Structure 1
């Protein structure tokens, strides 16, 4: 059916929409279904719904050409029955059934509405294999196919599978032993938080900040001055406390026999070490936290052990008491108790050193009295004489100070800069009491306290060879002719200090794992007071054990028990006259090996 001649004189349409745009318009516009060819004419009801005689119906036929990727502007060409559409599609305009041919006034941009195709579509439908379907159904199937290809190109199924895998991982339980893996950037999702949690008003204005609440202290601060000997979490004058303090007082009144400190036969000494065993009743948790220092009462009638932990607690354990209440815990300090000693002349006095104060626990008066207080943090101390009237104190900043307990007040008599960056331990020579051994970062030196002054102090002897920080250094107990050091370079060194020359030679070096880490107290090698040339040190070996070495570097004995000793004992102490060894671990538990 040809168009009227007047259509040839219409101006060319500029910038018509693309085929894809035209296709979307067609899909979004519902197309009235026409009865198939040869069907009976519509009834009266259907004729009432049909458009009136003054309304023209236009059928549009879109037929793809061979070039599917070409894009051109749609033009309406006059003078023929057909026009060309964008993308090589043929645009045919025919009047509806019973309608006259459209004139110039009846054609416009909105006149090309979708309708059923004429007989020329049969060839195209046969080529697609959908000859039995109407043009609308064929067009719908074509759109479904194109949409499926488009979504397949987006790879939505792979993304959905990946998100499902992420959600499954988050729902699985995470055990304590599993280590958290870093999240990938693609797995991170933005958590939605309410405006109330974000502290934002509904209008978008941030809410004013609340004043910061003071944090509650886990433990109240220990005040300065004398403190009563009242155990933690117990009422004063408790029966258990009285029994413990009474035992301490009684064994302190007994005169301790002078133990003969001499070098005995090595075979006999090894036999005595082998006779020391541990049992379940000789293992007890005395303090709550990591043991940082220990001391053992010199009494030969009872076994009384004191332990200090990193939170300022001091625990007393009467090992001879077989009841479960044989231990009591006191809190005389605010910080770590780094050093403890029973007084050599009066074992009723227990001196304990923390970062800020040196206290004396006097069981006869049942108080913890102050001896020395300073803003400079303390690290260790030792008595300058057997009467324990004077002491030398090491500071974490590298200095040392001299304290006289007979003078009033809590200040020192002398504060000396020895040139160290840090002083970890100090120890007095057992024979020549004027000599003090100080261990610092990588420095170990002997000083003469008679010539100490505030500045410009020079050491009498230097013990060189350490490449990392030194944890401890101690003279041998009888003659002081040996010094044993523990260094972070995984070596134990024994020095010959028979002659305090300016440079002391190394007698023996022993390879030893001293890598305790941050959760364990650093090892300290201590001499056996009953044996001049043997020392005890903790071990990282498994099964857990405590090792005894000779000054020649020979391993003499290892204390271990798989059932009773399952942790590292960093701090150890030996009884001065009996075959008793006590080891403390990082959980506040003490282990006693005895005959």
Structure 2
């Protein structure tokens, strides 16, 4: 019975709904249209129609139902109370799904803006009577249980109190919500985050190609394989090769060598006159060691009178100049230069044209690093070379005699222990020293001494106390006593350790030896007080000076002016090119400049009595300043 009663109630509700719709259509007298076919449930069709609506003619009471309809539908209030939907908003929310509710607020704001725009347009078109018709066809879903029919009926009853605009808005909200829900955007975003976190940069390792067994290998030099072109292996190289001189310039034979110029004929009359002239000058050489020191004011005045010209610039040797010496003659000007190629060039500046006064000799096979005119006989010029030989050029006999020879070692510098030039102290590149006595008949007596230095660059003897001499090594300066030298290992009397980089030279002052100047690669020139040999030499002055010449230029060597005890000469890297003279206090005394000086003069020398300066560059060219 209960089932039949429920079915009867459902049929009655459907009939009442149809009656209300028919009455509403008769009262309005308008035509209706359905947008799409409606769905059927329980074998019958339910349709909802909307009235034409215009915002321009809108009145608040227009959508109110007639009283007749309200009276007839009073019986439906009980069904609405059962669903607990007293307000229209609650009824709409009951129809919406949870996902539709999430997007309803955004859609509502958008619809409100569109409604305001439509209302503005309607005000502008007040003369038009026609309006757009908004038709909504609401589809109802069938339900298998009995309660679904009641909910559908009650939902339709509640929609009867809404305007067509509100019904369309709710439909749009529901469609948008269903569309976004079907996209599953939140789930896709979560999956993407997980993928990004888990993904790590993969290192692509290149696979090495597999070598084929029968593949032909790369061609290799037979010299590197140590194989003869015929396929016979070459003999093994010696484990300890013998160190010899440069193969391109083999060692010259021992013994005296003839003084034969390379640039002129040795049998010519000018060359014979050249030898005779310098042989005679050696007999009239003067010594001005006892001359008083001139004042710095007069010294500057004499320096200002020195100049350079095209006639005092000439190429004397082939290759870089490693040493320079000036003949002490008061009458003629003779400049000597030792070159990297082993040449010794002599230039007589009083001879014109200047090319005819240049004579180039080849007494050595390697660089000539030290060159001096003998203090006892100026007709003798002594030269030392890297090839392990010391030779003496005798103008009177026109030969280069061999003073000392050691093919197992390389020489770096030498100086005279005695004023008569009978004994020499020779420095080796490996740190050892040799005492050479020239008074031994036939050959020189040699005494090899091991020093405390690993390398010796320059050797210089004290001008007054000639038993003392100084050596400049890598970073240390040592002072030795020639009377206390030990062949096994000699200890220095004094060591100067103020230098931070390698040294290029160290020289005593020329007259008294009370000052010592050093040239270091740390761009500093240092002057020490060497007046007391028995104690440590205090540092007096440090001068900042660019001494970085590079590999293509000869290293600077600061040397004293033989005429002026407290002034020394050094090359410069500054522009325009120049040669500078400094006082022992660090003040600059003079700079030699000129249009004809366009290169760096690394090695310089001053005449012992005259104001003549000779500077050599790295191309074999000599620059002479004279008054």
TM-score tier by shorter-chain length is: 0.5 to 0.7
Contact 1:232 1:329 in 2 (8 A): yes
Alpha-carbon distance between aligned partners in 2 of 1:310 and 1:351, rounded to the nearest angstrom: 16
1:583 lines up with 2:615 in the alignment: yes
SS at match of 1:432: coil
Alpha-carbon distance between aligned partners in 2 of 1:475 and 1:219, rounded to the nearest angstrom: 35
> Partner residue of 1:239?
269
Can you list the C-alpha shifts for 1:218-246, whole angstroms capped at 9, x where unaligned? 55652221000001154432233223222
1:288 lines up with 2:318 in the alignment: yes
Displacement after TM superposition at 1:408 (Å): 3.5
> Partner residue of 2:605?
573
Alpha-carbon distance between aligned partners in 2 of 1:584 and 1:315, rounded to the nearest angstrom: 11
Alpha-carbon distance between aligned partners in 1 of 2:449 and 2:462, rounded to the nearest angstrom: 19
Query: CA separation of 1:452/1:276 partners in 2, compared to 1, >3 Å: closer, same or farther?
Result: same
TM-score (norm 2): 0.60
1:272 lines up with 2:270 in the alignment: no
> Partner residue of 1:90?
none
Matches within 5 A, 1:191-230: 208=230, 221-230=251-260
Contact 1:261 1:531 in 2 (8 A): no
TM-score (norm 1): 0.63
Contact 1:430 1:477 in 2 (8 A): yes
> Partner residue of 2:147?
none
> Partner residue of 2:625?
593
> Partner residue of 2:482?
449
1:346 lines up with 2:377 in the alignment: yes
> Partner residue of 1:297?
327
Alpha-carbon distance between aligned partners in 1 of 2:466 and 2:514, rounded to the nearest angstrom: 13
For structure 1, the 5+ residue unaligned runs are: 1-196, 201-205
Displacement after TM superposition at 1:336 (Å): 0.4
1:262 lines up with 2:292 in the alignment: yes
Contact 1:439 1:470 in 2 (8 A): yes
> Partner residue of 2:364?
333
Alpha-carbon distance between aligned partners in 2 of 1:243 and 1:387, rounded to the nearest angstrom: 27
Matches within 5 A, 1:301-320: 301-320=331-350
Contact 2:526 2:541 in 1 (8 A): yes
C-alpha RMSD over aligned residues = 2.2
Alpha-carbon distance between aligned partners in 2 of 1:198 and 1:429, rounded to the nearest angstrom: 60
Displacement after TM superposition at 1:350 (Å): 0.4
Can you list the C-alpha shifts for 1:311-366, whole angstroms capped at 9, x where unaligned? 11000000111212110100000110000100001001000001210000011111
Alpha-carbon distance between aligned partners in 2 of 1:342 and 1:388, rounded to the nearest angstrom: 10
> Partner residue of 2:579?
546
Alpha-carbon distance between aligned partners in 2 of 1:484 and 1:417, rounded to the nearest angstrom: 25
SS at match of 2:272: helix
Can you list the C-alpha shifts for 1:269-294, whole angstroms capped at 9, x where unaligned? 11111111111000010101100001
Displacement after TM superposition at 1:210 (Å): 12
Alpha-carbon distance between aligned partners in 2 of 1:509 and 1:218, rounded to the nearest angstrom: 43
Contact 2:414 2:427 in 1 (8 A): yes
Contact 1:263 1:533 in 2 (8 A): no
> Partner residue of 2:417?
384
Can you list the C-alpha shifts for 1:452-507, whole angstroms capped at 9, x where unaligned? 01123221122220011110000001110000000011100000011124421110
> Partner residue of 2:527?
494
SS at match of 1:533: strand
Alpha-carbon distance between aligned partners in 2 of 1:271 and 1:491, rounded to the nearest angstrom: 27
SS at match of 2:260: coil
SS at match of 2:492: coil
Query: CA separation of 1:547/1:429 partners in 2, compared to 1, >3 Å: closer, same or farther?
Result: same
Contact 1:415 1:453 in 2 (8 A): no
Can you list the C-alpha shifts for 1:60-113, whole angstroms capped at 9, x where unaligned? xxxxxxxxxxxxxxxxxxxxxxxxxxxxxxxxxxxxxxxxxxxxxxxxxxxxxx
Contact 1:447 1:458 in 2 (8 A): yes
SS at match of 1:325: helix
SS at match of 1:413: strand
Alpha-carbon distance between aligned partners in 1 of 2:465 and 2:596, rounded to the nearest angstrom: 41
> Partner residue of 1:564?
596
Contact 1:262 1:478 in 2 (8 A): no
